[in-house]
Structure 1
């Protein structure tokens, strides 16, 4: 009778004492794409849904088209929050002077004007609780959380209240999102949907 060989344990990176730091994301070999650092721990990305990808692309395009001079837009790019947190919003709007060259892998949180997170089943608590608390603490003025409601987008928009350093809701938007900050936009949220088959 043949005996199957024992499976070797996965070759996970072993954290140092005190956990990983923000610089480690550029130094650790073979990390999966879009790995984040949250509270000194590595968070790996799960496969994303069609809704997640379409929403991310939609906001990337729309924000790029509406952003005034001096601001730029990136999708799925890491932000240095502090030494133990280097997170990756799905879309971010930042001051363009923070971009220094084509090999850059991260930007400082102080340069970010808006962070957009599209919620996935594995990211619900991160996007509703963990990340907004960190974004508010470092002074990111605007935070949008995009949720799927039976495949339709609902955008929960927040603005930083400067005296409390906490986010306050400026509205929940379905079908249409009209805002004046961080710059004027009028968005048709019904465009975030799967294309009909055969299109």
Structure 2
């Protein structure tokens, strides 16, 4: 599919979002998927954005819920993606996934399989060096690195609380996980 074809398809998906406010729309495995946005989801994005953006080298920016078509059956709108500032300045509705240098998703009850199983394979296949799964439902972050054709070869799970250091092509990113919101129903460490 060409970028103009992708732009047309995404503009159609944007109309769906306009008809159903409070939902994020993606194409996953050829299906249109709409997820409700919850307060902890939005707060996690805002907190993480505020932590990461000041640490980025010049020329890099954070975007959220912008379309990245991977193929005709997969168009993801990452919760956090770091792309070149010059690309973001184009203010488009869809960007090539090869622009993503760092990506993070925030888990919601409806996105567990996609965030933990499906998206890591696609993000790794494009060589995105670091993928973080921020999970306010479980109160932890899963950090993935060393991308390969079938997914990430490195993976750690860290409970919210300590400082997380991510060594990325963008430099060392420090994330004080204690600042990330946790669903009160999340299991807590003993």
Alignment TM-score, normalising by the size of structure 1: 0.75
> Cα distance 1:28–1:44, how it changes in 2: closer, same or farther (>3 A)?
closer
Separation of aligned partners in 2, 1:134 and 1:80: 11
How many angstroms does 1:169 deviate by?
2.5
Matching residue within 53, 58, 77 for 2:42: 53
For residues 161 and 123 of structure 1, the distance between their equivalents in structure 2, rounded to whole angstroms, comes to 21
Aligned to 1:160: 146
Q: 1:1-199 residue pairs with structure 2 within 5 A?
A: 22=6, 23-27=8-12, 30-32=15-17, 34-48=24-38, 50-102=39-91, 104-148=92-136, 152=139, 154-162=140-148, 164=149, 166-174=151-159, 175=161, 176-182=163-169, 183-193=171-181
Per-residue deviation, 1:30: 3.2
Deviations 1:91-113 (Å, cap 9, x if unpaired)?
111122323523x1111111001
Q: What is the deviation of 1:29?
A: 7.2
- Count the aligned residue pairs: 169
Find runs of 4+ consecutive structure 1 residues off by over 6 angstroms.
none
Distance 1:29 1:86 in 2: 12
- Going from structure 1 to structure 2, the CA distance change for 1:173 and 1:115 (only over 3 Å counts) comes to same
Change (3 A) 1:170 1:39: closer
Q: Structure 1: where are the runs of 5+ without partners?
A: 1-20, 195-199
Larger radius of gyration: 1
- Whole-angstrom CA distance in 2 between matches of 1:76 and 1:39: 18
In structure 2, the gaps of 5 or more residues are 18-22, 183-190
CA distance in 2, matches of 1:95, 1:126: 25
Residue 44 of structure 1 aligns to a residue whose secondary structure is: strand
Partner Cα distance (1:169, 1:106) in 2 = 29
- The structure with the largest helix share of the pair is 2
